[in-house]
A and B are shown apart, each in its own frame.
Chain A
Amino acid sequence: NAGVTQTPKFQVLKTGQSMTLQCAQDMNHEYMSWYRQDPGMGLRLIHYSVGAGITDQGEVPNGYNVSRSTTEDFPLRLLSAAPSQTSVYFCASSLQYSSGNTIYFGEGSWLTVV
Chain B
Amino acid sequence: AQTVTQSQPEMSVQEAETVTLSCTYDTSESDYYLFWYKQPPSRQMILVIRQEAYKQQNATENRFSVNFQKAAKSFSLKISDSQLGDAAMYFCAYRSLWVGTYKYIFGTGTRLKVLA
Contacts and interface: CB of A to CB of B under 8 A. Distances in A.
A23 B52 CA distance: 29
Interface stretch (A10-18, A40-48, A78-86): A40-48
Given A50-B100, A99-B52, A100-B33, A105 B105 contact: no
Interface residues of A, number: 25
Contacts of A99: 52
Nearest to B46: A105
A103 interface: yes
Interface string A47-69: 01010000010100000000000
Interface stretch (B13-21, B65-73, B106-114): B106-114
Contacts of A41: 108
A72 interface: no
A15 B6 CA distance: 33
B103 interface: yes
A45 B50 CA distance: 20
Nearest to B104: A103
A50 B98 CA distance: 12
Contact of A88 (B9, B43, B47, B104): B43
29 contacts: A33-B103, A35-B106, A41-B108, A42-B6, A42-B106, A42-B108, A42-B109, A43-B109, A45-B104, A45-B105, A48-B103, A50-B101, A50-B102, A56-B103, A58-B103, A88-B43, A92-B104, A94-B102, A94-B104, A100-B50, A100-B52, A102-B35, A102-B47, A102-B50, A103-B45, A103-B95, A105-B45, A107-B43, A108-B43
Interface of B: 6, 9, 33, 35, 43-45, 47, 50, 52, 91, 93, 95, 100-109
Interface of A: 31, 33, 35, 40-45, 48, 50, 56, 58, 88, 90, 92, 94, 96, 99-100, 102-103, 105, 107-108
